Amino acid sequence: MLSEWKHRTGLYIKRFWQPTSACMTCMPGSWGNVMSLVHWTIALQTGLFTGILAVLLTFTPAAKLYAHRYGNALVVGFLTTLGDAYSHASHYGIPFAEHVATGVISGLLTLAASYIFEDRARRIRAAWTRMFGKPVR
């Protein structure tokens, strides 16, 4: 039972930073308003809501999608779209365009993270060894 909640806590943390980062990237004026409290509030609310949805999904049969790299990215992208739509109205002229863009970016971040950080960041350690000749421990 404890290991299940440990897994869910890790899942929540992952599903919190990816949508928050995606929201910060897709919101108009993102890099110009990086210190804006309003901007951060919206991004954190998106991450919070998406993380909660991701943990709730672990209680359903759809949790099997988390085991597969592309299924995981698809689920996270979809949940981020929902979380972003819940958090704020679209800033783009087209309804839901910003929410879908945020979901796509979040799904791509999830996919990239699955390649980079799998197997205790094996790819990062291998690149470090190739560049500097010393293995990372």
Q: What is the pLDDT of residues 68-107, one digit of tens each?
A: 989 999 999 999 999 888 888 887 778 888 889 889 998 9
Higher pLDDT, 79 or 22: 79
Phi, psi of 29 (to 5 degrees): 75, 20
Q: What is the pLDDT of residues 47-59, one digit of tens each?
A: 899 999 999 999 9
What's residue 136's pLDDT?
66
CB 116 within 8 A of CB 124: yes
What's residue 57's pLDDT?
92
